[in-house]
Amino acid sequence: MMKAILPALFLLTPLVASSATDLKVAVWEGAAPFFQKTETGWKGPCTDIFRAIEEIEPQVRFVTDPEPMPLRRVEYEMQAGRRDIVCGARKSAVREEAGFQFLKNYLHITGYRLAVRSSDNVQVKTWDDVRQTKDRVLILQGHADIPRLLAMGIQLDSSAPSAEQNLIKLIGGRARFFYARDSYFKSTEFLSRGDRQVRVLPVLFDPSPAFIAASKNVSAEMVQLIDQAYAKLLKNGDVARILRTHGIEN
């Protein structure tokens, strides 16, 4: 009898192992430090948190795109249902109208800073100060803050899809300011440039939470599984530990 049962159990094992739902993760260009590209693939807090969620909830498997995309395309792919998950996204009216399902608990409170050329001695403390300079601000294409900043009268250049391209434009004198996450300016991706041509201003702008979010095509039941697993990681301190490992403090 036992000899008959063992082969049957062996045949069932692949079925159990394959029951996980693959969720396609999109990465936008300039997503450091949440994602950083290495020779062996992606690393960063989002990658580590995804692996930790998979350990808690084996029905979930995150499959991250091998290459990043412009932010605007990421949002389009999410809305079209060709991508399922983003990590490090801020809430916006546009994203919520597009059906983004944000987890209940945020990943990290992130603010933004302005970078200028190192030869520029400008000092600004508020967006009104920036507006009064009448100078252009570089911002990532498709950034959630574009409508708000335009409404404030800030002159924007949002044509570049990556932080690297915006840095090149800044150094080349195409604009006076470059607006990016504070955590980006602290990331290995930025610091490894060793760029003495760029100076990051000390004022922190627009602090707000960044989240893991699912597209509208991901079922409510699946989002709930991810949400519950993430809540467990928060409660046991794993999220804070992972963030600290990557030099991020909440």
**Is the per-residue pLDDT at 9 higher than 60?**
no
pLDDT of 114 reads: 98
The answer to which of 69-83, 120-134, 230-244 has the lowest mean pLDDT is 69-83
Q: Which tops the pLDDT comparison, 102 or 192?
A: 102
Read off the CATH number of the domain in which 44 is found. Answer: 3.40.190.10
In a domain, 186, yes or no: yes
203 and 214, same domain (yes or no): no
Closest Cα partner for 223 from 121, 111, 100? 100
For the chain, strand residue ranges (E) read 21-25, 36-38, 41-43, 60-64, 85-90, 101-102, 108-117, 136-138, 155-157, 177-181, 198-200, 205-214
93 and 125, same domain (yes or no): no
115 and 201, same domain (yes or no): yes
In a domain, 126, yes or no: yes
Helix, strand or coil, per DSSP, at residue 225: helix
120 and 203, same domain (yes or no): yes
**Is the per-residue pLDDT at 22 higher than 90?**
yes
Helix, strand or coil, per DSSP, at residue 115: strand
Q: Which residues contact 180 (CB under 8 A, 6 or more apart)?
A: 30, 112, 113, 115, 140, 163, 166
pLDDT of 19 reads: 80
30 and 96, same domain (yes or no): yes
CB-CB contact of 179 with 112 (8 Å): yes
How crowded is residue 45: how many other Cβ atoms within 10 Å of its Cβ? 24
65 and 122, same domain (yes or no): no
**Structural domains of the chain, count:** 2
Q: What pTM was estimated for this model as a whole?
A: 0.81
Give the domain range for residue 100: 21-108+208-245
122 and 187, same domain (yes or no): yes
30 and 98, same domain (yes or no): yes
196 and 221, same domain (yes or no): no
pLDDT of 131 reads: 98
The answer to which of 26-35, 74-83, 134-143 has the lowest mean pLDDT is 26-35
In a domain, 118, yes or no: yes
How many CA atoms lie within 13 Å of 191's alpha carbon, on the beta-carbon side?
11
How crowded is residue 14: how many other Cβ atoms within 10 Å of its Cβ? 9
122 and 51, same domain (yes or no): no
pLDDT (tens digit per residue) in 215-250 = 999 999 999 999 999 999 999 999 999 999 988 876
What percent of the chain has pLDDT above 90?
72
In a domain, 29, yes or no: yes
Section 127-137 average pLDDT: 98
pLDDT (tens digit per residue) in 148-162 = 999 999 999 999 988
pLDDT band at 18 (very low <50, low <70, confident <90, very high): low
153 and 79, same domain (yes or no): no
Cα–Cα distance measured from residue 249 to residue 77, given in angstroms and rounded to the nearest whole number: 30
Q: Is the peptide bond prior to 33 cis by the omega test (within 30 degrees of 0)?
A: yes
